[in-house]
Each structure stands twice: as C-alpha cells, then as structure tokens.
Amino acid sequence: MSSNSFKITLTYDQVLELVLQLPKRDRVRLSRELAKETVNKRLSGLLETFRTDEITEDEIKYEVENVRSEIYARKQEDQSGH
C-alpha cells in the first residue's frame, strides 16, 4: 500500500457504488473491518457505562462469593429436597 494519501469528499451513494465494484473477497474484508469497528465502539461504550470508583475489587469478590454460596446452597437444597 502506498504511503501517499489524499482526501476527497464522497456521498454515501458514491462510496456504495465504489464498494460494489470491489471483488467479493474485498467486500467481505471491508465488511469485517466495519463490523470490528462497530463492536469496538459498542464495547468501549459499555465498559465506560460500568466504570466506577465507588466499589473496590475486594467488594466485588466478596459479592461474587456470596452469590456463589447462595447458588450452591440452593442446588444442595433442591438435590436433597426432591
């Protein structure tokens, strides 16, 4: 790929027309790249939504262990009670 670059303004329809002229293999590659970009943006947004300084990792571990214990206890009850 050449290191030269230039900028042109194209409409969506013009870009679509160019893309449709690509061989199928290149269209698939382009589609995958666009999908990766979308997934990365969504994941970054999701992670940002859950980012907080209000809870420590130790508190998270404590809560996870509590839930695991509750699930284990329920399974034991179900196995002995049924």
- The HSE-up count of residue 62 (CA atoms within 13 Å, CB side) is 5
Task: Write the pLDDT tens digit of every residue in 49-71.
Answer: 877 778 888 898 999 999 999 99
Task: Write the pLDDT tens digit of every residue in 11-46.
Answer: 999 999 999 999 999 999 999 999 998 888 888 888
Output the CA angle 19-25-26, nearest 5 degrees.
40
Output the CA angle 56-46-71, nearest 5 degrees.
55
pTM of this structure: 0.47
Cβ neighbors of 20 (< 8 A, separation 6 or more) are 27
Tokens of 52: 């907080």
